[in-house]
Amino acid sequence: MQVDFGEKELTVKLVYYGPALSGKTSNLRAIHWLGTSSACGELMTLETRNDRTLFFDMLPITVSSESGLKVRLKLFTVPGQVMHNATRRLVLQGADGVAFIADSQRSEAEANQESFRNLKQNLKEIGINPGNIPIVIQFNKRDLEDIRSDEDLEDIVKQTQQQIYKAVATRGYGVMQTLHGLIRETWNKLEEQHGIEKKFGIDPTRFIHEIEAQLKHDPTRQER
């Protein structure tokens, strides 16, 4: 979290992490075209060799507070390929919350596990305790064959104690629910750590409702 008192703006960074081809890019692209044009900034791509990192700003959302503070959300993906691990760590720097995008196909279970271990290791290496940062898990590609069953996912919830969402990111299904869940968990953690409501007069419940109102899931909307 960063606060610019001159501009009266608070910036929250959210990172989409996961193995190669799990759907991180598809999630950000879906959020970008499902979100309102007034809320989403330009979608930008940083090309790396054989992979890419996407990022864009959610434009400042004004919330009612005596301080007049605005909140900006910044969303990033990390490159999925192992060769770009240094870039992953760089993107994770300053993250306030993480969405881990897993591939639902049974054949990708090992890749999911390895990437999740890598996430925790990279967080430790940049000085972030994995237990102190909100992490939500999305199982993407629920429209494919030979995927992990709902019962399997329930078992994972019991093991990890983390919220799990199901999605078909290429069609826009589940991406907003995942984002909303990540925002809620991240904001609650920031409130716990920094006392945002007391410092800036921002009511957490009201703020989250305003975010969700501007980023409603609408699978019928056409890509911009």
Q: Is 219 domain-assigned?
A: no
Q: Is residue 9 part of a domain?
A: yes
What lies within 8 Å, CB to CB, of 143 at 6+ separation is 168, 171
Total structural domains within the chain: 1
Query: Is 80 a domain residue?
Result: yes
Q: At what angle do helices 109-125 and 85-92 cross, to 10 degrees?
A: 60
Residue 224 lies in a domain: no
The whole domain housing 127 covers 2-214
- The C-alpha angle 177, 181, 185, rounded to 5 degrees, equals 175
pLDDT digits (tens, 9 = 90+) for 65-92: 666 778 888 888 887 676 678 888 988 9
Which CATH number covers residue 24? 3.40.50.300
Q: Is residue 79 part of a domain?
A: yes
At residue 181's C-alpha, the angle toward residues 207 and 107, to 5°, is: 160
The model's pLDDT over 7-58, given as tens digits with 9 standing for 90+, comes to 778 889 999 999 988 999 899 888 877 766 556 677 776 665 555 555 544 4
Q: Is residue 163 part of a domain?
A: yes
Helix (H/G/I), strand (E/B), else coil: 146: coil
Give dist(CA 10, CA 7) in Å, integer: 9
User: Strand (E) positions, the chain?
Assistant: 2-4, 9-17, 44-48, 51-62, 70-77, 97-103, 135-140, 164-166
Stated length of the chain? 224
How much is the pTM? 0.87
Residue 223 belongs to a domain: no
The predicted-structure confidence for 186-214, as pLDDT tens digits, reads as follows 999 999 999 888 888 888 887 778 777 77
Distance in angstroms (rounded) separating the CA atoms of residues 1 and 73: 10
Q: Is residue 198 part of a domain?
A: yes
Which residue bears the tokens 């995942």?
178
